[in-house]
Structure 1
Amino acid sequence: MAVETILGLVALVVVPLVSSEVCHYGNEPDPSHGNKLRWVLPVRDPCRCTVIRLGGMNSMTPKRAFQPKYEDQPFTTKEVTEIRKKFNCSDVTQPTNPADCQAIKESGQDMSGMYTIYPSQYPNGIDVYCDMTTDNGGWIVFQRRVNDTVSFIRSWAEYRDGFGDKEESFWLGNEVLRRLTEPVAGEKGWQMEVRLTINDGSQQYGVYNDFRVDGENYILHVGEFQADPDNPLGDCLSLTGDEPPSNGQPFTTHDQDNDAEPTMNCADELKGGWWFNRCTETGWGVGPHSNLNGEYSQEPLDDQYGRGIVWSLTYPQITRTEMKMRRRGG
């Protein structure tokens, strides 16, 4: 067999390509076996599961739009290959070692979830949450807030290395951001999307071009901003004029003060870690400002100016945040 043919054969491999979904075996009466208590996995498509654990017990059989399969012994595992073998799941062909979420999206995968990507900076792979929900999907999510279960009042080391649950509330890590966004010859750089959900359920979002984090103090760089015309988000990072921008600022935490405020540490004063510039009422002003890693609250925090999850003047109403990145032109 020609060498070229052999190389062509190993260019692609067949691997499980699924979103990350934790499923639970429950215990409930099986109507087809005289209401004997049996185990059941109450999901329509078990091939979507990547982890299967034991769940609770139902005293009555719930009504479902599909007929689940009852079993006498539960099946629990964290191995995707075991799950796919048990339920005879088909595999999807994808390129080996995808460099980012876009490569996975372009292979035909449209389910958001946890994936392993292999950018040049991480040849052994790094686990990230990929957002595939939009037509131009393939975003690496690096920040999310969904509730108050994960505190974002963290140290410099924790923000550097990352913390939280990547399927819930988390920060991916400043060192990961720095390494991923390092300029690479021939590439156009990165975009960053900020997406906020307000307590009435509406969303606002916009995209920054030329997103980059660099240096030992993780300086933020953002370029041109474009808001979604139907759900416009204000620009709170690159504004100039009366409001000091976060663009060009190093990261600050309560134990490492890199902000431009001469009399205080903004992360200690306003909580959370962020690319703070100024944070006093006189230095910050009353216009647009930001701190998406502030204290989680669905109610205004009136004890101190600027507390809470902040973006422009809507900060008391923000209940969910996402910051994500993708390569430009992808």
Structure 2
Amino acid sequence: MIRQKKKGNDMLHRLTLLKPQELRVDMERFNGEKAYAVYSSFSVGDEASKYQLQVTGYSGNAGDSLDYNNNMMFSTPDQDNDRWSSGTCTTTFRSAWWFNSCTYTNPNGEYTDSEKTDHKYVTWYNWKNSVISLKSIQLMIRPRA
């Protein structure tokens, strides 16, 4: 029997397939200010769907930076699945993500040790309507109650 190594998105798909999940995103700026976003429904499709994101039901104080990415396929440098016709979002944002054309959040972006303003950094645009780099961001899922 040949065992295939599972990718992170395969595991997310399995977790979100077994039971309905919610997503919570906690973030902090370099000045200590904190915010959060909760999505009452979060799931990731299978490999055939290119790990399509399903995320709805926003609440919180950070602004909804994920709605723009809803229904998008996962993009990596070698799998460009975004809708941007002028280039690739993975190159511009220096990360892999569920890019549309491109995104309002970049949790997989480049980490910096101080506040900077650029799309390539870890950002959540709708919190301050700016691409201010974040000190930290956590994306956590759990079964819906």
TM bracket (short chain): 0.7 to 0.9
Give how far 1:314 is off. Answer: 4.5
Which of 216, 234, 244 is matched with 2:63 structurally? 234
- Residue equivalent to 1:174: 9
> Which residue of structure 2 lines up, in the alignment, with residue 275 of structure 1?
98
| Residue pairs, 1:1-330, within 5 angstroms | 161=7, 173-182=8-17, 184=18, 189-216=20-47, 217-227=50-60, 232-238=61-67, 245-279=68-102, 289-297=104-112, 298-301=114-117, 306-312=119-125, 313-329=129-145
- Distance in 1, matches of 2:133 and 2:70, equals 24
Deviations 1:15-40 (A, max 9, x none): xxxxxxxxxxxxxxxxxxxxxxxxxx
3-state DSSP of counterpart to 1:180? helix
1:264, CA displacement in angstroms?
A: 1.2
SS at match of 2:11: helix
> 2:117 touches 2:130 (CA, 8 Å); kept in 1?
no
**Distance (whole Å) between structure 2 residues aligned to residue 211 and residue 268 of structure 1:** 26
- Give the C-alpha shift of residue 301 in structure 1: 4.8
Q: 1:246: Cα distance to partner? A: 0.3
Report the counterpart of residue 141 of structure 1 in structure 2.
none
Q: TM-score, structure 1 length as denominator?
A: 0.39
- TM-fit CA distance, 1:299: 3.3
Q: CA deviation at 1:255?
A: 1.2
The offset of 1:213, in angstroms, is 0.2
User: Structure 1 residues 301, 317: CA separation in 2 closer, same or farther (over 3 Å shift)?
Assistant: closer
Q: Percent identity?
A: 33
Q: Cα deviation per residue 1:122-169 (whole Å; 9 max; x = unaligned)? A: xxxxxxxxxxxxxxxxxxxxxxxxxxxxxxxxxxxxxx73xxxxxxxx
Say which structure, 1 or 2, has more relative contact order (CA 8 Å, 6+ apart).
2
- TM-score scaled by structure 2? 0.84
- Aligned-residue RMSD, C-alpha: 1.7
Aligned amino acid, residue 276 of structure 1: F
Misfit runs of 4+, over 6 Å: none
Structure richer in strand, relative to its length: 1
Q: C-alpha displacement at 1:263, in angstroms?
A: 2.6
- Which residue identity lines up with residue 99 of structure 2 in the other structure? F
Aligned-residue offset at 1:316: 2.3
Shift of 1:215: 2.7
Identify the residue that residue 134 of structure 1 maps to in structure 2: none
